[in-house]
Structure 1
Amino acid sequence: MQHLIVSRLRSAGLSALLLSPVSYARQQEPVVPDLPTQLKILKQELAAQRAALDVLTHEVEAQRLRQRQRQRASSGTSLVAPGNAAQLDTQLEAQRGTGNGDGQAEPLASPQATEPLARRQTAAAGAVGRPPKRDTRPPAVAPLFEQPGVLTPRGKLVLEPSLQFGYSSSNRVALVGYTVIPALLIGLVDVRETKRNTFTAALTARTGVTNRLEAELKLPYVYRSDSAVSRELFTGTAIDRVFNTSGRAVGDAEYALRYQLNDGGADSPYFIGGFRFKSRTGRDPFDVVTDCTKRCVGENVSGTGLPLELPTGSGFFSVQPSLTWLFPSDPAVFFGSVSYLHSFKRSGISRLVLGGEREFIGEIKPGGVFGFNFGVGLALNDKASFSLGYDHNSIARTRQNGVPVAGSVRTQLGTLLLGYSYRLNEQRTLNVSVGAGLTRDTPDVSLTVRIPTNF
């Protein structure tokens, strides 16, 4: 009977239960994963959650900062603190993988572990979006002055062709004689009117040595045309005399370096230090022929004393340190700078007069130029902006042989400037600035057109 029961159990497939109960119990136990592998997966998921939390935290901080800056709900040109943007980019890059103990990224262990991480990354990106990559450079404004505010990024090249036109006029009245009573003059009246036109075409190249250091080279070509209307001195004539002269040649080449001193931000200004060196590549004013037979000063003076051909350079080496600041306050950007131009003196100078003779002058030391400017720039949209500013220069007296030149006084030059900027495409921008002279010695009007091109 027992033998019959065993045979039936075998026929039913239960022989394993009767003959080997221990092996059957082992087959029914759940398979426990390897503990190190499970810890590794949990650590990766925890690191991914921390990265996503950091992204959300920094995005909330950036949103709060933008709300404080704008003070309104419109979406104009944003001036987000570059430091926060850089941190956001760093956190987003951290989502691509997690690090091990030695700081090297290691791949996820299994598709089951990577799938939750990918879902979290997609959800975080869909909720807050990836912010545009920003750098720590100052905001761009429509340029008004010679020193630009935005530095060229490292490895980039900017070629900027420009054309500048300036017009100025001046009147001079000289009384040659003596007065018997205040209302009676015995002598002649010398009246002169001078009109000057200046065209300067230049090619400027700027490159970023680092993200904070920029080098610049400027090569100008100058054309000048002067007209002087006067009465012949020491003669009793009622006929006006017109004296025309012009000159065209390469101007003084300039070299400049600019360095961004700090990162700045929404609540702090940007500071940029600059140093400019001006050469003597232009035509020297002491080498052009002057309309004097023998001498232009002293006794036996003959001629007008005016140059028969206009110079295109200053004739002196000069250096100019400067400090520029920009303060963003969305939607406006306030900017300004201070500078000082120092010209090195020259000794043994002589002037060329008619007949090829030279009149010895001696040592000439041009006066230093202290300058400052300030303005505000506004962005109209993502392509157009305009700026309004004021530029002032105070020129000290020129000295000859250590003594101030007769008739030389401190000169004040004040100019009101208005600039426009329009981005033509990703590489080119059109910049136009107009200046109006506010003092008698300042050019009446100046017009500058620039087209910087990025490479």
Structure 2
Amino acid sequence: MNLRSPRVSLLAACLGAALAAAGGAAHAQQASESRLDQLQEQIDAQTLKLEQMRQALSEQEGSVAELQRALNEERLAGARARGGSIPAFQEAPVAQTAAQERIEQQPAQPVGRAPEPETRPPEVAQIFDQPGVLTPSGKLVLEPSLQFGYWANDRVALVGYTIIPALLIGLIDVRQVKTTTATGAITARYGIGRRFELEAKVPYVYIDGDTISREIFTGSAVDRVFNASGHGMGDVEVTARYQLNQGGMDKAFWVGWLRYKSRTGRDLFEVTTDCVTRCVGNATGTGLPLELPTGTGFEALQPGVTWLYPTDPVVFFGSFSYLHNFPRKNVSRRVLGGAEEPLGEIDAGDIYGFNVGMGLALNEKASISLGYDQSIVGKTQQNGQDAPGSVRVVLGTLLIGASYRYNERSTLNLSLGVGVTRDTPDLTLTARLPTSY
């Protein structure tokens, strides 16, 4: 009998049990690791979903902000969409269009009441030169315009001296000056970004003047008429505008602008006067020009700010500005025969201006505006001294305007100005037809 056989069997059984236990532990470890991998995958999936939800929420917040800005801008366009140029939000801005496309792609959800039909707000007519609402980004506006002006002024010139009160030794020259102007211009505006635009204006001027005079105490009972006219390109202008803030209903909008005026037009120092040798001192003529100028003769820079305050059902608007004329040196006047009469340095007076108005929409296409415009012109200086006969001038004009919108691209704007001071044109008629591209 072999005693080693039971021992071998017992040892084999122990080894088998140990191996079985080790295999079970390994299997349990593999199952645990597989479970952990599944949990990690679930966590990663949930993290990805959260990130996608954050991105979607961020896009929705951006859409809401864009729609809010577009709503404020549409309110401004409805309260005061300028007739002299296509309003900045006459066509939906790019940001608003993209936001609307995203909203349209989403399923419709019920709301408290049915939405009102979408209509374009009515426009308010432009009556001042500087508009307040900017051109949309990437849009071009071409504005042909025609302006007619007329004014008459009476002058009494005392040529002589007095020896006692009410006794004049010399001549009394009574003059009436009547001037008619017609200015055709083409203006181009281009929107750069949401709050910035550039503008260029090229005018063509026709001017005609009649001077009627009679020298009293000379035995003549016949009026003398002196006529002169001129036509040609006027002073080209370039303007930049920037909207300073994001306004809204019952919140003012502020637009800053800077205008540069050239002297491309023919000025007073380039035309010929009827003086034979000189017009200063012992004059040998009336000093009146044989051809009227079409430009001012001075380069100028004009900063300003325009404000608009929409409040249902009207909008109030206005502007403040300061125009600085740059002085010219070595200026001379041209007399008969082509001779030049030196005048030295000429510094035209600077101009302080302000205006205020209100606009009211009559319906979806027609609107009217009322306003007042005033400019204070300083004295002209010659060689550092006040020029002879130079005085401070106040120009005041009452204006009324009307506009009619033909379609989404074009608006006809008419305005009438009536002078309230002696130096202001008696009548000014302006027609504008801005078209957006």
- Tell me, yes or no, whether TM beats 0.5: yes
In the other structure, the counterpart of 1:323 is: 305
Distance of aligned partners of 1:87 and 1:424 in 2 relative to their CA distance in 1, 3 Å threshold? closer
* Higher RCO (C-alpha under 8 Å, 6+ residues apart): 2
Count of equivalent residues = 371
Correspondent of 1:441 among 400, 423, 436 = 423
Distance of aligned partners of 1:133 and 1:355 in 2 relative to their CA distance in 1, 3 Å threshold? same
Per the normalisation by structure 1, the TM-score is: 0.73
Deviations 1:319-357 (A, max 9, x none): 100100000001101000000000100000011000110
Distance of aligned partners of 1:87 and 1:248 in 2 relative to their CA distance in 1, 3 Å threshold? closer
Correspondent of 1:365 among 347, 350, 356 = 347
Distance of aligned partners of 1:396 and 1:128 in 2 relative to their CA distance in 1, 3 Å threshold? same
Q: CA deviation at 1:174?
A: 2.0
Distance of aligned partners of 1:246 and 1:90 in 2 relative to their CA distance in 1, 3 Å threshold? closer
What secondary structure, in the 3-state scheme, does the structure 2 residue paired with 1:337 have? strand
Superposition pairs of residues 386-405 of structure 1, within 5 angstroms: 386-405=368-387
* Aligned-partner Cα distance in 1 for 2:388–2:346: 13
Distance of aligned partners of 1:189 and 1:151 in 2 relative to their CA distance in 1, 3 Å threshold? same
Q: CA deviation at 1:122?
A: 2.9
Distance of aligned partners of 1:86 and 1:217 in 2 relative to their CA distance in 1, 3 Å threshold? closer
In the other structure, the counterpart of 2:108 is: 122
Question: Aligned partner of 1:310: which letter?
Answer: L
* Aligned-partner Cα distance in 1 for 2:146–2:343: 35
Q: Are 1:219 and 2:202 an aligned pair?
A: yes
Q: Are 1:279 and 2:265 an aligned pair?
A: no
Correspondent of 1:344 among 302, 321, 326 = 326
Distance of aligned partners of 1:446 and 1:174 in 2 relative to their CA distance in 1, 3 Å threshold? same
Question: Aligned partner of 2:313: which letter?
Answer: P
Q: CA deviation at 1:236?
A: 3.6
In the other structure, the counterpart of 1:23 is: none
Question: Aligned partner of 1:263: which letter?
Answer: Q
Q: Are 1:410 and 2:396 an aligned pair?
A: no
* Aligned-partner Cα distance in 1 for 2:311–2:167: 62
Q: Are 1:257 and 2:243 an aligned pair?
A: no
* Aligned-partner Cα distance in 1 for 2:414–2:334: 39
* Aligned-partner Cα distance in 2 for 1:431–1:308: 36
Q: Which runs of no fewer than 5 residues in structure 1 stay unpaired?
A: 1-34, 70-76, 98-117
Question: Quick check: 1:89–1:133 contact (8 Å CA) kept in 2?
Answer: no
Question: Aligned partner of 1:153: which letter?
Answer: P
* Aligned-partner Cα distance in 1 for 2:425–2:416: 12
Question: Aligned partner of 1:335: which letter?
Answer: F
* Aligned-partner Cα distance in 2 for 1:426–1:92: 19
Distance of aligned partners of 1:267 and 1:308 in 2 relative to their CA distance in 1, 3 Å threshold? same
* Aligned-partner Cα distance in 2 for 1:125–1:216: 44
Per the normalisation by structure 2, the TM-score is: 0.76
Percent sequence identity over matched residues?
A: 56
In the other structure, the counterpart of 1:177 is: 160
Question: Aligned partner of 2:155: which letter?
Answer: R
Question: Aligned partner of 2:110: which letter?
Answer: A
Deviations 1:189-245 (A, max 9, x none): 210000000000000000101110010000000000000000258844221100000
* Aligned-partner Cα distance in 2 for 1:349–1:438: 34
Distance of aligned partners of 1:316 and 1:179 in 2 relative to their CA distance in 1, 3 Å threshold? closer
Distance of aligned partners of 1:87 and 1:176 in 2 relative to their CA distance in 1, 3 Å threshold? closer
* Aligned-partner Cα distance in 1 for 2:99–2:379: 59
Q: CA deviation at 1:284?
A: 2.1
In the other structure, the counterpart of 1:268 is: 251
Question: Quick check: 2:190–2:198 contact (8 Å CA) kept in 1?
Answer: yes
Deviations 1:135-166 (A, max 9, x none): xxx99531111101111000101000000000
Correspondent of 1:200 among 155, 170, 183 = 183
Distance of aligned partners of 1:453 and 1:178 in 2 relative to their CA distance in 1, 3 Å threshold? same
Q: Are 1:431 and 2:413 an aligned pair?
A: yes
Q: Are 1:384 and 2:327 an aligned pair?
A: no
Superposition pairs of residues 86-97 of structure 1, within 5 angstroms: none
- Could you say what the CA RMSD is over the residues aligned between the two structures, in angstroms? 3.7
Question: Quick check: 1:88–1:131 contact (8 Å CA) kept in 2?
Answer: no
Q: CA deviation at 1:128?
A: 4.6
Distance of aligned partners of 1:305 and 1:207 in 2 relative to their CA distance in 1, 3 Å threshold? same
Question: Quick check: 2:123–2:361 contact (8 Å CA) kept in 1?
Answer: no
Question: Aligned partner of 1:453: which letter?
Answer: T
Question: Aligned partner of 1:387: which letter?
Answer: S
Question: Quick check: 1:155–1:210 contact (8 Å CA) kept in 2?
Answer: yes
* Aligned-partner Cα distance in 1 for 2:158–2:311: 55
* Aligned-partner Cα distance in 2 for 1:132–1:258: 30
